[in-house]
Amino acid sequence: MIAKNIISDSFITLKTSDTGQMALLLMDDYKVNHLPIVNNKEFLGLVSENDILSYNLPKEPLGNHPLSLSNPYVTENQHIYEVIKLISELKLTLIPVLDNNNNYLGVITLSKLLQQIAKIGAINNPGAIIILEINVRDYLLTEIAQIIESNDGKVLSLYVTSHPDSTKMEVTIKLNKTEISGILQTFNRYNYNIKASYKENDMLDDLKERYESFLTYINM
């Protein structure tokens, strides 16, 4: 999945002649902390709420002040993982998208990105989750998949979490089935350390609470 396929529909842009006061009102309406400044199709920069509050002159045009962010953007063909990386590193609530000629196409908001992450991770698909703790040198994706498939299961999504100061990693696996006792037994037989496992019913309340908490955070 690439950036141009996850642009948010009908998102407002600012002009250099718009005031900081107007920008703050729009940020409140759209529940974001950033907005793009665009002249026709030319992306000029990304203004943040902190930028405007630091001006102390909210009725002045935005063009009268420098921006703290150095024009962050992604191009239309960049992968969603690169979008996630940039938004995370810069702590953005949205990221502008430019075409290959540097024309402004729109923005990807944090809430839109969350929806796509849910699709990539098969979060909405029924099935259980298993978390394995593995030594980095012992990680064999083919063996993990073989164990699951030998028990009539399939991997819907898988991601790895590693820590710089550790020789261990966590492998989180989303499966296509809720009955996983046979899979767990086989992992135990192969001496895998099962850190946690969740059946669908066990996860619903927790996932709902986490999702609602995240939505509350991005709408602050």
Give the DSSP letter of residue 13: -
- Class of 121-215 in CATH: alpha beta
Percent of the chain with pLDDT over 70: 88
Q: Where does the pLDDT of residue 121 fall: very low under 50, low under 70, confident under 90, or very high at 90 and above?
A: low
Mean pLDDT, residues 19-34: 93
CATH code 3.30.70.260 region(s) in the chain:
121-215
CA distances from 206 to 48, 127, 142, 211 (A): 33, 15, 30, 9
CATH code 3.10.580.10 region(s) in the chain:
3-118
The model's pLDDT over 157-192, given as tens digits with 9 standing for 90+, comes to: 898 888 888 899 999 999 999 899 999 999 999 999
Distance in angstroms (rounded) separating the CA atoms of residues 176 and 141: 17
Q: Which CATH number applies to 3-118?
A: 3.10.580.10
Q: Quick check: pTM over 0.95?
A: no
